[in-house]
Structure 1
Amino acid sequence: MSAQPQNYTQGHHRAVTANHATRRAEVEGAFVLPHLKPDHHILDVGCGPGTISTSFAKYVPSGTVTGIDLTPEVIQQARELLSHQSPQPTNVTFSTGNVLAGLPFADASFDVVFCHQVLNHIHDPVAALREMKRVCKPGGVVAAREGDFPFRWVPYLPGIQLFQKYLYEMVMGPTDHAHPDSPPHPPGHRSGSLTHVWARQAGFDPLKIEKGASVQLYRTPEERKPYCELMTGRLVAGGHKDLYMKLGASEQDIEMMITDFKRWADDVDGWHAILQCETICRA
């Protein structure tokens, strides 16, 4: 099995994972909840700062939740989150792990294997799903939730267009197109709408794959302002400014991104939607 690079292109600076830390099982994992039983053992692949993992815990009170991610840095964030919860779940553990290098678990170890915004970020999502299938019990569930590019904005301001272009290139690799709305997608394109295809290629029976979706919206001032702060925080403090400049952005481009995010947040017509592809695969 090929090895996955020991990094996440967006990085694990707390200004980046602050966005990840807003996620919960009740939202990002809602499509999985109907499949859970109290004694289930859950593996959260690419758990990030651990908020989804820890919020799964109450749904499996006599089971366990195991969260894995690539670096000790983000696993430490997850453990800190766990230690500060009251009451603190006793059935959650976190450790480093690399799905493409091989998970450190025996075959058929988990009832549910879950990932959120992971497959888009790795170079071989089919191999990742194949490994998740290996550690899932027969009759269990492998569940993936992946955003589908391009994301939608109103108004689609020039700075936000640039932000989306460089975000896309940072995750997917460079493209000659002005922004990801411009077809065709570059070679090796990955996006959430292909998750069920990757699952079939990984060996799941297509008749046992449930294809679903939800839409994540930012539409009110109360939703737009914190999202704007999270996205501009990535640029200012989270290292994304340097990453975007390596991809070709200028200082003026970065300034325009920040300015236009704030314009979008203050615009009474401001609206942002992400199609989230939710795939359930029965092992």
Structure 2
Amino acid sequence: MAKETATYTHGHHASVVRSHSWRTASNSIGFLLPHLKPNMRILDIGCGPGTITVDVAALIPQGHITGLERVGSILTQARALAEEKGITNIDFVEGDANGLSYEDGTFDIVFCHQVLQHVGEPVGMLKEMKRVTKTGGIVAAREADYSVFAWYPELPGLKTWQELYGRIARKNGGTPNAGRVLHTWAKKAGLSPKCSATMWCYADKGDTKWWSESWVERSLYSSFATTALENGIASQGELQAVSDAWKEWGEHEDAWIVIPSMEILCFKE
């Protein structure tokens, strides 16, 4: 079985998991939802804490969804969420999407959300997603593009964060600007992508405070910080300055940030 070669830039620090737990089917995979049918079998690759997976399960009451995650420890939280919500048409498994254990044509839909930017061979993973999808089924993905994030106020420390993030992600073997090339990866995998783009916008005080507090912590304590320090990409003082900039941004009365993501919807021929 193939093995993942890249290192996940964010890691699974509590601040990261809290951020990912904000994601829902409606705010993250809206482009895919019109294509769901009640009896579908679906695979969610890189499901993390399972918030999107659990939402999708509720939309396919006669079907079944599997959430696959490379790091099994986070699946305890995902399973607990499903139990809390009374969702039973779901299971969570640990595995590497570079070499899925499923037979060809197992699923009606295979999707991933903000995953391909963190892997070493995104085209290979898309090929594997295609393999386990039924003929006429759907392969879907959504990926951000870090170089086109936009925010106000335009603090210098946040520009430093953006530049550091790009260097750290590439050091880890990922593609921080994955969104712009997502469609080309799909074509190389033998798929015919239908392309779209949507964005998250944090503009009210509650949202900006939440995003700010997340990166105040992540800048210092997540794998983002560990990779920066271990590889000489940034010093502790530079990371502290980035953390301080996120704090300042979050306290500004007019703070907002826009995070664009590109999407592909591919029907397997």
Instruction: Give the TM-score taking structure 2 as reference length.
Output: 0.92
Name the SS of the counterpart of 1:276 in structure 2. strand
Alignment root-mean-square deviation, CA: 2.1
Question: Paired residue for 1:224?
Answer: 208
Which of 197, 213, 235 is the equivalent residue of 2:197? 213
Could you tell me how far 1:252 is from its partner in structure 2? Answer: 2.1
Shift in Å, 1:239? 4.3
Q: Give the match's secondary structure for 2:27.
A: coil
Identity %: 36
Q: Which residue in 2 is equivalent to 1:235?
A: 219
Report SS of the residue matched to 1:18.
helix
- Map of 2:4 onto structure 1: 4
Match of 1:164?
162
The structure 2 residue matched to 1:135, chosen from 113, 132, 136, is 132
Q: Distance in 1 between matches of 2:96 and 2:245?
A: 37
* Shift in alpha-carbon separation, 1:216–1:191, aligned structure 2, 3 A: same
Could you tell me whether the CA contact under 8 Å between 2:40 and 2:60 is conserved in 1?
yes
Aligned residue in 2 for 1:45: 45
Query: Is the partner of 1:26 in helix, strand or coil?
Result: helix
C-alpha displacement at 1:251, in angstroms?
Answer: 2.4
- The one-letter amino acid of 1:203's match is G
- Aligned residue for 1:182? none
Amino acid in the other structure paired with 2:171: G
Q: Which residue of 2 aligns with 1:32?
A: 32
1:37 positional shift = 0.3
Would the alpha carbon gap of residues 124 and 51 (structure 1) be closer, same or farther in structure 2, given more than 3 Å must change?
same
Structure with more of its chain in helix, by fraction: 2
- Write out per-residue CA displacement over residues 226-262 of structure 1, whole angstroms, 9 at most, x where no aligned residue: 0111112223443433322234212221221122112
Q: Is the 1:111–1:137 Cα contact (8 Å) retained in structure 2?
A: yes
Q: Deviations over 1:168-207 (max 9, x none)?
A: 2222228xxxxxxxxxxx9977511211111110011x3x
Q: Is the 8 A contact 1:172 1:190 kept in 2?
A: no
Tell me how far apart the structure 1 counterparts of residues 80 and 174 of structure 2 sit (CA, whole Å).
39
Shift of 1:64: 0.4
What pairs up with 1:26-175 in 2 under 5 angstroms? 26-83=26-83, 85-86=84-85, 88-100=86-98, 102-150=99-147, 151-173=149-171
Unaligned regions of 5+ residues in structure 1, if any? 175-185
Change in 2 beyond 3 A, CA 1:242/1:189: closer
Secondary structure of residue in 2 paired with 1:213: strand
Q: Does 1:248 align with 2:233?
A: yes
TM-score for the superposition, normalised by structure 1: 0.88
Which 4+ stretches in 1 moved above 6 angstroms?
186-189
User: Structure 1 residues 29 and 187 mapped into 2: Cα distance closer, same or farther (>3 Å)?
Assistant: closer
Whether contact under 8 Å (2:6, 2:118) holds in the other structure is no
Partner Cα separation in structure 1 for residue 64 and residue 196 of structure 2? 26
Using the alignment, how far apart are the partners of 1:266 and 1:15 within structure 2?
18
Long gaps (5+) in structure 2: none
Between the two proteins, the alignment pairs up a number of residues equal to: 266
